[in-house]
Structure 1
């Protein structure tokens, strides 16, 4: 019998990435929760965010459409499960507006922002429904794509976004 601890079970379903950002977490939280700012950094290098809508409350809509250089579009939608300003944002694509279940739920994202001497330890965790879904997301380029998006977020909050 192969019995895994709860943490080991989560680990096989999870992808994560962290970075220390030289900006206060209130600013990073604003960049995540104000559509105008989110649209400026969301997505890997070369992508734009053509649509960015959010209803910032538990049960509210989170919807983006990324557009590639060739014009192809990558829509994503879900709902917020938890929001604790300026510490945590949790959203899932398991449901659409009105809590209607998604046809193919993919992941739940947990974004944590820890204050470390006026800097922000940013951690993004993507929890998947199965180890196979996690592996598929990793093979799609989770670390590269989310890492490039994080590069764009860092550039925004450290260089272009006013305090």
Structure 2
């Protein structure tokens, strides 16, 4: 099953039903070693991941391309705002761990996991401060990139 991408004001939203429990998906979201396996479209890879699934915790990813490239999304340190196990996690790049302000905020991500149909409805919402940032994120390939990652996540957790 493919994902569905929508726009709501300054937010980009992607949703997909995954045939796995919210608990299994939560583990794939919050375990750094698991996150490295699906959180970036292959052949890109994550070289560093830190997920402290608690308010004020760090959410860090660093990624590299197949030829060593490291676009503007190469390294990111954010701050976890909400962590409700098996239900919802939210983080922002406006801050780093411990609620320390970052220099160039771009987005806040909210991922919700809702039990449905013997599996889970996974919804990721990327919030932006204005339409310009939303459009920039869309042009960067939000639907394709996040969609590919969501497919990789589904393959990983549905195989269990």
Determine the structure 1 residue equivalent to 2:3. none
When structure 1 is superposed on structure 2, of 97-106 and 133-142 the one drifting more is 97-106
- Residues 32-71 of structure 1 correspond to what in structure 2 (within 5 A)? 32-71=29-68
CA distances 1:102-149 after superposition (whole Å, capped 9, x unpaired): 111000000000001330100000000111100100011000000011
Determine the structure 2 residue equivalent to 1:6. none
Determine the structure 1 residue equivalent to 2:20. 23
8 Å CA contact 1:25–1:118 kept in 2: the answer is no
- Residues 94-105 of structure 1 correspond to what in structure 2 (within 5 A)? 94-105=94-105
Whose radius of gyration is greater, 1 or 2?
Answer: 1
Cα distance, 1:100 vs structure 2? 2.0
Aligned pairs, number: 151
Cα distance, 1:32 vs structure 2? 0.2
Unaligned ranges ≥5, structure 2: 1-6
Superposed structure 1 runs of 4+ greater than 4 Å apart: none
- Residues 1-163 of structure 1 correspond to what in structure 2 (within 5 A)? 11-73=8-70, 74-159=74-159, 162=160
Give TM-score scaled by structure 1 length: 0.89
